[in-house]
Amino acid sequence: MIGFKAKFRLATIVVLSIGIALVAIYDLLKPISNGCTMTYMYPTYIPISAPKSLSSSKYGLYLYHEGWKQIDFDEHLKQLNGVPVLFIPGNGGSYKQVRSLAAESDRAYQGGPPEPMLYQEASLMFEGLDIHETDIPILNQYARRLDWFAVDLEGEHSAMDGQVLEEHTEYVIHAINRILDQYKESQDARVKEGAVESGSLPNSVILVGHSMGGFVARAAVVHPNLRKSAVETILTLSAPHQSPPLALQPSLGHYFEYINQEWRKGYEVQNSRTGAQLSRVIVISISGGGNDYQIRSKLESLDGIVPTTHGFMISSMGVKNVWLSMEHQVILWCNQLVVQVSHTLLSLVDPETGHPTSGPRKRLAIFTKMLQSGMPGSLSGRSDFHQQSPRLPLQKGRNFFGSVRKNITACPSNIRWSDEGLERDLYIKTPTVTVLAMDGRRRWLDIKELGSDGRTNFVLVTNLLPCYGVRLHLWPEKGTSMSNSPLSKRVVEVTSRIVQVPSGPAPRQVLKPLHNIFFTY
């Protein structure tokens, strides 16, 4: 009997241990709740024939088509006349990952530009040239759709070997040249059938790279076989630029160093071939923020590689209408980000020429206007919110090319909250509250639900104009010591800086002067 009890206790302990271990593993591996909406699409991938010189290549090139109806591939290619965009997948990625961006770009083109933003815009001040919002036309409709191409790199693990990265770079060069040739072939086919062509052919391709594909995009720009001015705009998503995430092979680190050195030398020697090419190239790096555990933000920075006159890095948490951190793969389908990127790329198209805006500073200004908000400088100092500003003067200092940054005009420092108005401020007496979001729409905010998965903080952003603000009052639970504190000690002031507002009882906060229009919780 004693032996049976001992065995029963042992079995119970083993079962409980296994149960606890399984719960712990599930907690570690369960998807992070990031607030992203799924993107839906009806994808069709049209193969693009390779030139004879590459007929034996293991890689491939595809054109994306959005729609549930079957189409004739040859006839569709014959009508090709949009703005070419090439998607480059990352380590182990698929060309089919282009589907979210391509589908939303098609919907954005048909739906037209979004309503003008109601909240503070980012500064468009650049060294030696002021580009005002009036210099960027307000579009009622987009001039031309985006034609999304994607390279099939066989799902190879480009993060493991520098030789693989070099092979991917060389194929991307061929893909860019093939895309530009395809537009000429399509136009010739239309003319042969009697069509009258008045517009000019595209002479450049926008590159969008995910993860290692973003680095491949930059490597292609400094490749000697790239046609002159064939790439002038690069957008990377969760892509390492400074160094490989894991230098498993010496060749990987060597290739990164070689490409980055070519970029640095290109800016130093402007009259060289590389320098002439880079002078027209804009690079935008979007990071996934704190939830991206594969590529950290410091690797995605362009510091020391691309001057701030030609690009910047921004966290997805700082992108207009997004304000979410996301995992490494999620950045490809997170609808809030995909929609904003789609409208941004469509905004690059000049309504007069039907091609991307030629001036690099104007393109940079469009990216700034469409992606960045008038974010307070304190935000950029945090690793999970880090963003580079393209001569956006958040604080005084010099960038690595020696240009001076200026200060954004702030509200008068003597403006302060008055305790007399606390009763009229926004209080949260129930778990749910209505807030005005960055897109001007009212949203329900369920604090209790936000805190149910263990989260202790969340981010709240409004679109109030500068020098106005809202204080968020979180009422503590009854019976706690905070319930007897004066109202001024229970308030979280959310206008002068980005702050974390707890999902539980409000801690003591010090009121600060009004400067901006952002809340975080």
Report in angstroms the alpha-carbon separations of 92 from 67, 164, 167, 321. Answer: 27, 11, 14, 30
Arithmetic mean of pLDDT, 2-20 = 80
- Confidence band of 8 (pLDDT split at 50, 70, 90): confident
Whether 463 shows a pLDDT value over 50: the answer reads no
Per-residue pLDDT tens over the stretch 42-60: 999 999 988 766 666 789 9
Q: Where are the beta strands (DSSP E) in 174-321?
A: 206-210, 233-237, 282-287, 311-315
Stretch (H or E) spanning 516: none
Angle at 132 between CA 131 and CA 138, to 5 degrees: 115
Encoded tokens for 445: 């905010």
- pLDDT tens string 246-292: 877 888 999 999 999 999 999 988 777 788 889 999 999 999 988 88
pLDDT per residue as tens digits for the range 438-462: 444 455 566 666 666 655 555 554 4
What confidence score (pLDDT) does residue 436 get?
47
Residue-level pLDDT at 9? 81
Query: What is the DSSP code string of 374-431?
Result: ---HHHHTSTTT----SS--SSSEE-TT-PEE-PPP---TT----GGGGGGSEEE-SS
How much is the average pLDDT of 28-39?
70
Structure confidence at residue 374 (pLDDT):
55
Three-state secondary-structure class, residue 304: coil
Across 350-377, average pLDDT = 83
* Owner of token pair 């079995």: 11
pLDDT for res 500: 47
CA 296 – CA 305 distance, rounded (Å): 17
How confident is the prediction for the chain on average, in pLDDT?
76
Using CA atoms, how far apart are residues 248 and 235, in angstroms rounded to an integer?
A: 26
Min mean pLDDT across 15-19, 180-184, 362-366, 496-500 is at 496-500
CB 325 within 8 A of CB 291: yes
Closest by CA position to 83, among listed 288, 353, 365: 353
Least confident of 3-7, 22-26, 494-498: 494-498
What confidence score (pLDDT) does residue 367 get? 93
> Binning pLDDT at 50, 70 and 90, where does residue 197 land?
confident
Provide the pLDDT for residue 339.
94
Q: Which of 12-21, 195-204, 231-240 has the highest mean pLDDT?
A: 231-240
Question: If DSSP codes are grouped into helix, strand and coil, which group holds residue 468?
Answer: coil
| Model confidence at 130: pLDDT above 80 | no
H/E run at residue 456:
none
Residue 181 has φ and ψ, to the nearest 5°, of -65, -35
Residue 198: pLDDT over 50:
yes
Cite the active site residues. 211
Residue, of 292 and 237, whose pLDDT is higher: 237
pLDDT exceeds cutoff 60 at 415: no
pTM of the model as a whole: 0.73
Please report, rounded to a whole number, the percentage of residues in the chain having pLDDT higher than 90: 42
Asked if residue 170 has pLDDT above 70, the reply is: yes
